[in-house]
A and B are shown apart, each in its own frame.
Chain A
């Protein structure tokens, strides 16, 4: 079992829909990261959070430390949101990031 599990693996949505991507992890962490990767492109950090909730534009990230779970929400989705969304956790007592396999999101117009 991977230390970081994301669901769903693939997601297709219509423009304007509310989207949720989930991340569960099994290790103690100091922080959780949400990252975005466009096809053929680099990786960009969206959020780093260790508790509660963060919002940036149409993106919202939440984390529940007790349940070892985080969600990334996209409101009013748009085709330009189509990308791979990656969850990564920084181990509590280590220097490393452990990555989920990613969620491939396609938003159709």
Chain B
């Protein structure tokens, strides 16, 4: 059972570079989420999607973009990396209002 799979697990970016964090789930969940986790803080919602073709901003969307062309995939794009985007990123999925399943996280450092 794969569940929610995130890649890469670790990445170091230089300021101004761009990258895509991949997230895929095999549970046919309609809801998918991207969170960031900073030390001593709760997870903050970046973007979420309630189904293919539908995305919406969370609390901290600036500097990020997402797309949801399929039910399975929900990639997160960083266009111009900044040191403030150094964080651990988690992707999650769920059915409408049920238990959420999380990926293993991506540790991103921007230098």
Contact = CB atoms under 8 A, between A and B. Distances in A.
Contact of A48 (B41, B43, B99): B99
SS class, residues of chain A in contact with chain B: strand
A57 interface: no
Given A30-B97, A42-B102, A90-B97, A97 B45 contact: yes
A95 B48 contact: yes
B100 A95 contact: no
A76 interface: no
A45 B99 contact: yes
Given A86-B42, A96-B58, A42 B99 contact: no
Interface residues of B, number: 24
Interface string B83-111: 00000001010001111111111000000
Interface string A22-44: 00000000110101000001111
16 contacts: A33-B100, A35-B102, A42-B90, A42-B102, A42-B103, A45-B99, A45-B100, A45-B102, A86-B42, A88-B43, A96-B58, A97-B43, A98-B42, A99-B44, A101-B42, A102-B42
Interface of A: 2, 4, 30-31, 33, 35, 41-45, 48, 86, 88, 90, 95-102
Nearest 4 pairs of A and B residues by beta carbon: A99-B42, A43-B102, A42-B104, A99-B43
Interface of B: 31, 33, 35, 40-45, 48, 50, 58, 90, 92, 96-105
